[in-house]
Amino acid sequence: MNLRTAKVVRFHETGDASVLKIEDLPVSEPAVNELRIKVEAIGINRAEVMFRNGAYLEMPEFPSRLGYEAAGIVDAVGEQVTDYKPGDRVSTIPSFSMGQYGVYAEYAVVPVHAVTFCPQSLTVQQSAAIWMQYMTAYGALLVVGQLKRGQHVIITAASSSVGVAAIQIAKSVGAAVIATTRGNNKKQFLLDQGADQVITTDSEDLVARTMDITHEAGVELVFDPVGGPILNQLAEASAKGGRIIEYGALDAEPTPYPLFIALAKGLTIHGYTLFEITQDKIKLEDAKEFLLPLFEAGKLIPVIDKEFTFNQIQDSHRYMESNQQTGKIIVTV
């Protein structure tokens, strides 16, 4: 009988970061097709902030765990798990209910389909910082968006971890990247990440600048986590037959559908989450085949903005909500 306990982050009501509590709970044994990871690093994501607030695709059932991304060492395997063994260094791919399997913990039990080996070229912190952002960007840009060499893509909120991943992936296939950010303080960072052009939306006209950059043609693809009124501008900045991929709702304002612009240009506006990729076995394997060699070759490099300790889990969420970060927020365990 397992009497060990370990620290787990749970919350018993929705609210601000103060609802996150570190609790001592029994260490669970992995069931069939599950394994247990001794967690060494956790990646913090906007989805977890939204889940904590009760504003996510999945609603919490209390008391609720949370967390999608972790990296560490396999500690135990359940029945029918043959690809991994204790001692293997692995990381998790978001493809499960975080209320059920949340990885904010010293030990996390997860389904085996949501696990992969850590790239040898990356640290454990970097390995906890790759799958949410790069899988999200890969699926949107290359699977849904069909981005090609020489095409233009607008990436909004581009200093986020997903935005950085999107810049790197778009450049890896030879596309031209127009990154947007609100002010000038993140402009050089985005240029350093490979953006060809940066539009500061607080001081520049998004549509006019885009049309100038593309010689009045507009962009073939838009990748947007903001939503709200900016969708109208993004539609105006799109090329005929262009695609707009919406994957978030950072703007609390309603998102009006740009009907007449969409009709005039024949636009496709696609609501997207990375689960389109991670919950499809074939697409997931294709994604790993594309991404892993680029990690190993150093062509995709996760940017870690700041690290917190496990006891600072509330502070990590507050920092995420401050929108100061450029890249990924990591918690070490």
What pLDDT is recorded for position 169? 98
Q: Which residues, at least 6 apart from 263, have a Cβ–Cβ distance to it below 8 Å?
A: none
What pLDDT is recorded for position 1? 46
The tens digit of pLDDT for each residue in 208-219 reads 999 999 999 999
The tens digit of pLDDT for each residue in 45-88 reads 999 999 999 999 899 999 999 999 999 999 999 999 999 999 99
Other beta carbons within 10 Å of 106:
20
d(CA 139, CA 238): 20
Domains, in order of start, for the chain = 5-130+303-332 (3.90.180.10), 132-275 (3.90.180.10)
- What does the radius of gyration of the chain's CA atoms come to, in whole angstroms? 20
Other beta carbons within 10 Å of 232:
16
The tens digit of pLDDT for each residue in 2-57 reads 579 999 999 999 999 999 999 999 999 999 999 999 999 999 999 999 999 999 98
Give the single-character DSSP code of 303. Answer: P
Model pTM?
0.93
At which residue do the structure tokens 């949501």 appear?
Answer: 114
CA 283 vs CA 14, 135, 274, 291: distances in Å: 33, 10, 11, 12
